[in-house]
Structure 1
Amino acid sequence: MSKRQRANHQLSAQDRINAYWTGRAPSYDEYQQRPDRLADDRRAWSEVWAQALPPAPLDVLDVGTGTGQAALVLAGLGHRVTGIDLAEGMLAQAHRHAAAMAGGPRFRRGDAVHPDFPAASFDAVVSRYLMWTLREPATAVANWIRLLRPGGTVAVVDSTWFPHGLDNTAENFADHYDSEVRAALPLATATSIDQTVAVLEQAGLTRVTATPLTSIFELDRRFGVAPNHEHQMQYLVSGRV
């Protein structure tokens, strides 16, 4: 075990996840802001979220907001958006983007599993690319439901990124996503989006659907996917209270 691995082993599983994404934040954000596809991305994701949620303005919580991509799009649609994350590096990027946008989202440090807000604070809880790296997803979704007003929506975007395991990928997960971290993430190596659907259904949401995001799939075909990723379908999984 390397010196870095020994130091990481003394951290909690979530601490190690936070450290990974803080380190990844600059390159992750650079890819999200690629000028050759930025306008196309904004249009496509605006359509995805407009179809996922009732018309604006809603109070929306973006859990695991990362660099704030979903939160910024939702704010652009006229929603009142709060984004939370535990990776300080990701939040720094999100704050930078929000500062350049009138009426942009509010970002704060917060745990996606246990969001610290009063009950019935929001009309919708959303996430993008969180479920696979979310510890205790059943607990998390139950807590999201508590935050929703009657008729509220949970809408998450994700895919089956690593169906063959985290070792069988070009991503360098070794230093942070060790065996303890992987054991805490039941959807990390999901082989079907139905596993995410089941989490939402078992939490008590109704009318849960998984919609293939063909527009995003086509953009990835045209422009290429993120480094160390494969071209694969993403899904919007949503349900109502």
Structure 2
Amino acid sequence: MTTQERINAYWTGRAPAYDEYQQRPDRFADDQRAWSQIWSQALPAAPLDVLDVGTGTGQVAMVLAGLGHRVTGTDLSEGMLAEARRHAAAVTDGPVIQLGDAVAPDFPAGSFDAVTSRYLMWTLREPQTAVANWIRLLRPGGLVAVVDSTWFPNGLDNASENFTGHYDSQVQAELPLATATSIDKTVAVLEEAGLADVTAVPLTSIYELDRRYGVAPNHEHQMQYLVTGRA
């Protein structure tokens, strides 16, 4: 298996449980409000053409579509795509969900006003190449906006997450941000790829929701960040 195939297999296996956690009824409404506010403040007013790379179960794509944007979500995990398609089909004007590689999205140059992702950067091979390709897809003044954290600063081998057989040493060697100890490394990737005005904003609203409701199994309570830059 290639590195990406191992990553895809891991997330396809995780997809049902991952989606169930994202849809927790006790927290869902609060999450929707918080993320809607985060993305509405991050992006210009709708409607924009937005590409959500590594869309997973489609949480960001669904929020953005709900804000009135025209959204395409892509992923390489068939299990994640199945969950995302199910959610998209349940709403009017939902996102278009399709198979696609976040590192090399197959769209014409200048197709989008914004490229977004959530919880992708840490598990992204060749992140600087990926961001450079996202920039190519943007119209003048377009925005890249990614959400992530420093999930595994002590290494994936010491993580409580069960990565056995998927995120092995070969895979880890190809993921430059997997064990980052500071969000500054993600900021640097966006800057080096050619984006301007790159900033990282702590998502205190999500931090407070995690404090109130608890974090996902095998995760620590830690700050997440919205990192943005302009083409």
Equivalent residue number for residue 59 of structure 1: 49
Q: What is residue 32 of structure 1 aligned with on the other side?
A: 22
Identity of aligned residues (%): 80
Cα deviations across residues 189-228 of structure 1 (Å, max 9, x unaligned)?
0000000000000111111000000000000000000000
**Secondary structure in 2 matching 1:167:** helix
For 1:3, the equivalent position in structure 2 comes to: none
- Give 1:134's aligned residue: 124
2:73 — aligned with what? 83
Kindly state the Cα deviation for residue 167 of structure 1 after the two structures are TM-superposed.
1.2
Cα drift, residue 157 of structure 1 = 0.1
1:157 to 119, 123, 147: 147
Distance in 2, matches of 1:154 and 1:163, equals 24
Q: RMSD between aligned alpha carbons?
A: 0.3
Aligned residue number for residue 34 of structure 2:
44
Per-residue displacement from partner, 1:61-104 (whole Å, max 9, x unpaired)? Answer: 00000000000000000000000000000000000000111100
Moved over 3 A (4+): none
**CA displacement, residues 90-140 of structure 1 (integer Å, 9 cap, x when unaligned):** 000000000111100000000000000000000000000000000000000
Q: State the shift of 1:174 in Å.
A: 1.6
Shift of 1:168: 1.1
Q: Deviations over 1:132-155 (max 9, x none)?
A: 000000000000000000000000
- 1:201-216 alignment to 2 at 5 Å? 201-216=191-206
Q: How many residues align?
A: 231
* In structure 2, distance between residues paired with 1:222 and 1:51: 23
**TM-score normalised by the chain length of structure 1:** 0.96
Q: TM-score, normalised by structure 2?
A: 1.00
